[in-house]
C-alpha cells in the first residue's frame, strides 16, 4: 500500500514539474505613461447643448434661468496612476465626482425684468460621499458674477447623484447689493 501512495505522489510531481521548470521568471511590466485627454465627440457636443434649469431670487422675486457649463481644466486626485488626472473640457464622471478640482465657466441666461446673458467663471471642488462619488457626491465652490452692471463673488454648494447626471447647486452672492443674489440650479450633466 505504501508503494502505491508513493507512486501516486511521484506521478503528481512529475506532471507538475515540467510546468514549474518551463515557467519564466516574471519581469516587471514596462512603464507606460498615463493615457492622454479624451476628445470631444458629436454625442458629447449634443449633450453639452442641453441647458440646466435655474430659479433665480432677485429682489424678493423669483425668475427663471438657463445654465450651461464648460470645464476648461479639471484635476482629479482620485485617478489611479494609469490614468492622467488632468482633463480639458471632456471629463469622465468618475474622475469629476470621485474627487477633483475644476476651473469652470458657466454661460447663463437669466430672464429677469430684462433678459441678462452672463458668463460666470469659478472654481469648484468635488468630494465623494457614497460609492466613490458615483451614487452621491458634493461640491463647494466660488464664482464671480456680473448681472445688470453689479459685480459680486458668490459661494456655492452642490449635491449630485446617479453617476453625476442629476445634481442640485445653490449659489449665493456675498454682496448685499448683488442682482440675482441667490440661484438654485438643477444640474443635468452627461460628461
8 A C-beta contact, residue 143 and residue 154: yes
pLDDT score of 70 more than 70: yes
pLDDT band at 1 (very low <50, low <70, confident <90, very high): low
pLDDT attached to residue 99: 93
Task: Copy the grid coordinates of residue 115.
Answer: 433678459
pLDDT attached to residue 166: 93
pLDDT attached to residue 92: 85
pLDDT attached to residue 176: 81
Of residues 82 and 23, more confidence is placed in 82
Q: Is the dihedral of CA 100, 68, 72, 142 positive or negative?
A: negative
Letter string b/e over residues 91-103, b meaning 16 or more CB atoms within 10 A of that residue's CB: bbbbbbbbbbebe
pTM of the model: 0.78
pLDDT band at 21 (very low <50, low <70, confident <90, very high): very low
State the number of CA atoms in the 13 A half-sphere of 60 facing the CB.
0
pLDDT band at 177 (very low <50, low <70, confident <90, very high): confident
Of residues 177 and 103, more confidence is placed in 103
Walk me through the domains of the chain, giving residue ranges and CATH numbers: 42-188 (2.40.160)
Per-residue pLDDT tens for 112-142? 888 999 999 999 999 999 998 889 999 999 9
pLDDT score of 63 more than 90: yes
CA angle 168, 173, 175 (to 5 degrees): 170
Which has the closest alpha carbon to 137: 151, 156, 107, 158?
158
pLDDT score of 20 more than 50: no
Which has the closest alpha carbon to 157: 167, 166, 165, 147?
167
Q: How many angstroms separate the CA atoms of 49 and 59, rounded?
A: 30
Q: What percent of the chain has pLDDT over 90?
A: 47
pLDDT attached to residue 149: 84
8 A C-beta contact, residue 127 and residue 148: no
pLDDT score of 71 more than 80: yes
Amino acid at each position: 500500500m505504501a508503494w502505491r501512495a508513493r507512486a501516486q505522489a511521484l506521478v503528481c510531481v512529475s506532471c507538475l514539474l515540467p510546468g514549474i521548470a518551463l515557467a519564466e521568471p516574471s519581469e516587471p511590466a514596462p512603464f507606460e505613461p498615463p493615457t492622454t485627454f479624451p476628445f470631444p465627440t458629436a454625442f458629447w457636443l449634443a449633450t453639452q447643448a442641453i441647458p440646466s434649469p435655474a430659479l433665480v431670487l432677485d429682489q424678493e422675486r423669483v425668475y427663471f434661468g438657463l445654465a450651461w457649463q464648460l470645464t476648461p481644466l479639471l484635476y482629479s486626485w482620485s485617478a489611479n496612476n494609469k490614468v492622467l488626472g488632468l482633463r480639458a473640457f471632456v471629463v469622465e464622471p468618475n474622475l469629476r465626482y470621485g474627487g477633483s478640482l475644476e476651473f469652470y465657466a458657466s454661460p447663463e441666461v437669466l430672464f429677469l425684468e430684462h433678459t441678462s446673458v452672463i458668463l460666470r467663471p469659478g472654481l469648484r471642488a468635488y468630494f465623494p460621499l457614497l460609492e466613490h462619488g458615483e451614487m452621491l457626491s458634493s461640491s463647494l465652490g466660488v464664482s464671480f458674477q456680473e448681472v445688470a452692471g453689479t459685480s459680486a463673488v458668490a459661494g456655492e454648494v452642490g449635491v449630485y447623484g446617479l453617476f453625476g447626471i442629476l445634481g442640485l447647486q445653490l449659489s449665493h452672492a456675498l454682496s448685499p447689493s448683488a442682482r440675482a443674489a441667490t440661484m438654485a440650479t438643477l444640474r443635468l450633466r452627461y460628461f
